Amino acid sequence: MRISSAFSPGRWLIYGVLTLAALFFLLPFYVMLVTAFKTMPEVYSTGILALPDSLNFSAWIHAWSAATIGAASEGIHGYFLNSFILVIPAVIISTAIGAFNGYVLTHWRFRGSNIFFYMLLLGTIIPFQIVLLPMAWVQGRIGIAGTLVPGLMMVHVIYGLAFTTLFFRNYYVGIPHDLIKAARVDGAGFFSIFFRIMLPVSTPIIMVTAIWQFTMIWNNFLFGVVFTQGGQQPVTVAINDLVDTVTSVHMWNVDMAAAIFAALPTLLVYLIAGKYFVRGLTAGAVKG
């Protein structure tokens, strides 16, 4: 027996278990992907794991521009665009406000600002069902009920603030207060300190916060299904409608293609900037 210490049976076991786990995590996406490239006859005739005979894009095209969602048969592309129209301003606004809040809460504290911070923290743990009914009523009263922008966007900005503020606060706590003192002695005021001193060192936390907000808002279903209607829905709601629509035959390949479309933006962000995504998940969580 010649077993080097680096590849002892224990090591093989570790890699074995990790690889099995990886297969488990990859399986659903693999199945989605191969199904989306099949024709419906192929879906029926081949196993769920089998590769498609050829790369057939008809399901993708159908999902994008022809599938029936609600009353219309125009595919998910409109809803996909809706999500972008919603997400971009919501991320920018909630991140910007969070940055200012974090700056105030760490370096311009005043009486009561800490109490406020703990008040805000609760906003990160409440089940949002508790605010749905009053919010629906308020939106109705000010005439923005059912709209994507500003209705749904406003909801996401408001309930995202607790998270963005928390992120920036925890980051700015690490910036020495002496820096602010020095800038004040140097004659800089509230905004000039923020823009000249704080913002230039904030790139990592801006990335973390923006990616977090992008992922959360893009993937959100509850607010979308409650607060939008009539073609204004975000893509997650549209996907659910598509899959739920009872037609004579369930077009699994179209469902899967549509679901992948809906998953693509956040998945790409994750693959490109996963470091920031993970930091948001753990930092936001661990420090809370």
Partner 1 sequence: MGRLILKNIHKTFGKDEVLHGINIETEENQFLILVGPSGCGKTTLLNIIAGLERESAGDILINDRRVNDQSPKNRDIAMVFQSYALYPSMSVRDNILFGLVNRHVPKEEREQILQDVAHMLQLDHLLDRRPRQLSGGQQQRVAIGRAIARRPALFLFDEPLSNLDAKLRVEMRTEIKRLHQQLQTTMVYVTHDQIEAMTMGDLIAVMNDGIIQQLGTPDAIYNDPANRFVAGFMGSPSMNFIPVTVCQGEGTVWLEVREEGQAVSRLPLPPVLQSGLKTAVDRKVILGIRPEQITDPGSAREGSALHTMELKVDMTEPTGADTLVFTRLHKTPLVARAHPSTKLVLGSNTPLSFHMERAVFFDPDDGQRLA
Partner 2 sequence: MPSRKAAFSGRDQLMAKLVLSPTILAATFFIYGFILWTIWLSLTRSTILPSNHFVGLANYYDLFGSSRWWRSLSNLGIFGGLYVLISVGIGLGLAILLDQRVKAERLYQVVFLYPMALSAVVTGVAWRWLLDPGFGIQAIVRSMGFPHFAFAWIDNPDMAIYTVVIAAVWQTTGFMMAIFLAGLRGVSPEIVKAAQIDGASTGRIYLRVILPSLAPTFFVALVLSVGLAIKSFGLIIALTGGGPGYSTNVPSIFMYVFSFQRGEMGVGAASALMMLVIMMIFVLPFLLLDSRRQA
By CB under 8 A, residue 182 contacts partner 1? yes
CB-wise, 184 or 275, nearer to partner 1? 184
Binding partner 2 by CB under 8 A: which of 12, 57, 84, 191?
191
- Virtual CA dihedral for 271, 266, 216, 168, nearest 10 degrees? 40
The least CB distance from residue 202 to partner 1, in Å, is 9
Q: What is the Rg, in whole angstroms, of the alpha carbon atoms belonging to the chain?
A: 24
Binding positions for partner 2, 1-30, rule CB under 8 A: 11, 14-15, 17-18, 21-22, 24-29
Three-state DSSP state, 69: strand
The CA distance from 87 to 260, in Å, is 18
Binding partner 2 by CB under 8 A: which of 66, 85, 190, 231?
190
Tell me how crowded residue 178 is: count the other CB atoms within 10 A of its CB.
8
On whether the CB atoms of residues 53 and 42 are closer than 8 A, the answer is yes
Residue 28 contacts which entry, partner 2, partner 1, none (Cβ below 5-8 A, type-dependent):
partner 2
Binding partner 2 by CB under 8 A: which of 132, 145, 149, 175?
132
By CB under 8 A, residue 185 contacts partner 1? yes
Binding partner 2 by CB under 8 A: which of 92, 142, 196, 274?
274
DSSP 130-184: HHHHHHHHHHHHTT-TB-IIIIIHHHHHHHHHHHHHHHHHHHHTTS-HHHHHHHH
Task: Tell whether omega for the bond before 150 is within 30 degrees of 0, i.e. cis.
Answer: yes
The identity of residue 286, as a single letter, is V
On whether the CB atoms of residues 68 and 244 are closer than 8 A, the answer is no
CB-wise, 8 or 65, nearer to partner 2? 8
Stretch that binds partner 2, among 55-63, 69-77, 198-206, 239-247 (CB under 8 A): 239-247
Residue 246 contacts which entry, partner 1, partner 2, none (Cβ below 5-8 A, type-dependent):
none
The least CB distance from residue 176 to partner 2, in Å, is 18
Tokens of 280: 């948001």
By CB under 8 A, residue 105 contacts partner 2? yes
The least CB distance from residue 65 to partner 2, in Å, is 19
By CB under 8 A, residue 187 contacts partner 1? yes
**C-alpha distances in Å from residue 20, one per residue of 31, 67, 222:** 16, 36, 33
Binding partner 2 by CB under 8 A: which of 127, 176, 200, 230?
127
Residue 50: DSSP 8-state: S
By CB under 8 A, residue 263 contacts partner 1? no
Residue 285 contacts which entry, partner 2, partner 1, none (Cβ below 5-8 A, type-dependent):
partner 2
Binding partner 2 by CB under 8 A: which of 40, 61, 88, 131?
131
**C-alpha distances in Å from residue 277, one per residue of 214, 264, 280, 282:** 10, 15, 5, 9
The CA distance from 85 to 142, in Å, is 21
By CB under 8 A, residue 81 contacts partner 2? no
Binding partner 1 by CB under 8 A: which of 63, 105, 166, 197?
197
Give me the residues that bind partner 1 (CB under 8 A), please.
Answer: 176, 178-179, 181-188, 192, 196-197, 200-201
